[in-house]
Amino acid sequence: MHFKLRAATKEDCKEISRMILELAVYEKMSDQVKISHEELERDGFCQNPFFECLVAEVHEEDKAKEGFTMVGYALYFYTYSTWKGRSVYLEDLYVMPEFRGKGIGKGLLGKVAEMGKKEQCVRLQLSVLEWNTPSRDFYAAKGALDLTDNEGWHFIRFDGQNLDNLANEAPKD
Amino acid sequence: MSDQVKISHEELERDGFCQNPFFECLVAEVHEEDKAKEGFTMVGYALYFYTYSTWKGRSVYLEDLYVMPEFRGKGIGKGLLGKVAEMGKKEQCVRLQLSVLEWNTPSRDFYAAKGALDLTDNEGWHFIRFDGQNLDNLANEAPKD
């Protein structure tokens, strides 16, 4: 099956949002999705975008049961290491179940790495859940280092009231 | 791990002050009369950048938080952390995230006391990296247009 990978445009955000929700429904966490295509349009296509996105499309004759020709996406952004410099972080990688096993996921991952290298990034990083053995094995087979297992890194988050409290403690100018 | 640091001020100048900067940075300064033994008045920094959650939107990631040992215990670290949170909120971020090493108990306790959630312990998140030849291999596997 032929597929095409390209940079997302603002007009693609409704379809990307549809796929974000599909992934959340699959993970039984659709109530966790708080943003819609409007935030994606605003945040991905402003002066200093918060992310970039690649989408995967198939031809009309190969479209999904529901009629979609956009069948996958990879959303990523640039980060920084004070020791190594520019890096790229892969936030989401998703291919509709019906279209898996055809190289689309690998293609998207490779394309993100290529985009990163064009920007002189020296690292590609991502996070994966402990129980997600297929994904962990996939990345390990491609040479990824699990920094949590190997170096003891823990990922920490502040949100909601705790984030507000931190901000309120900032010294006043 | 000083042999691990591969970039210098030149990369920082290029990457932090270009059209689409890769990071922002706050610095902490003291008055001349309080300067460090070596003569420095710049005694700490917090380097951060904006990230994105497809479920929650804009987030801020704190990459480095450092205060010279001689100046710790005076609220500078807390002040820098709070300022990053404040900058994030100004940009409508809903999360502040960072990473900390398992053995770094003082830092882990500090963040936990301020309400941080350890996503690795609580949700099983693992942080994954590709670099060097493995990154090159991935890029070479990208479909050609």
Instruction: Find the CB nearest A155 among B12, B47, B97.
Output: B97
The structure tokens 């963040």 sit at B111
B85, A163: Cβ pair inside 8 Å?
A: yes
Q: Which residues of chain A fall below pLDDT 70?
A: none
Contact assessment for residue A89 and residue A77, using Cβ atoms and an 8 Å cutoff: yes
List Cβ neighbours of B38 (8 Å cut-off, separation of 6 or more).
Answer: none
B115, A161: Cβ pair inside 8 Å?
A: yes
Structure tokens that stand for A52 in this block? 């970039």
Contact assessment for residue A13 and residue A60, using Cβ atoms and an 8 Å cutoff: no
The CA distances from residue A77 to A83, A110, B22, in Å, are 19, 15, 10
CA distance A2 to chain B (A): 11
Overall number of domains in chain B = 1
Please report residues of B whose CB lies closer than 8 A to that of A35. 53-57
- Is residue A137 a part of any domain in this protein? no
Range of the structural domain that residue A74 is part of = 3-127
The structure tokens 């100048």 sit at B13
- Is residue A113 a part of any domain in this protein? yes
The structure tokens 């094995």 sit at A137
pLDDT tens-place string over residues B71-109? 999 999 999 999 999 999 999 999 999 999 999 998 999
From A122, which residue of chain B is nearest by alpha-carbon distance? B131
- Is residue A71 a part of any domain in this protein? yes
B142, A107: Cβ pair inside 8 Å?
A: yes
Beta-bridged to residue A55, according to DSSP, are A6, A73
Pairwise CA distance, residues A8 & A160, whole Å: 30
Closest Cα partner for A162 from B120, B54, B103, B97? B97
User: What predicted TM-score, i.e. pTM, was given to this entire model?
Assistant: 0.94
Q: What is the ipTM of this complex?
A: 0.92
List Cβ neighbours of B76 (8 Å cut-off, separation of 6 or more).
Answer: B28, B43, B44, B67
pLDDT tens-place string over residues B11-49? 999 999 999 999 999 999 999 999 999 999 999 999 999
Pairwise CA distance, residues A94 & A25, whole Å: 13
User: Residue A103 is part of a domain; what is its CATH number?
Assistant: 3.40.630.30
Tell me, yes or no, if B66 is annotated catalytic: no
The structure tokens 């996070």 sit at A127
- Is residue A38 a part of any domain in this protein? yes
CA A92 to chain centre: 2
CA distance B69 to chain A (A): 19
pLDDT at B49: 97
The structure tokens 């689409």 sit at B20
The structure tokens 């949002």 sit at A17
Please report residues of B whose CB lies closer than 8 A to that of A137. none
Instruction: Find the CB nearest B101 among A79, A131, A152.
Output: A152
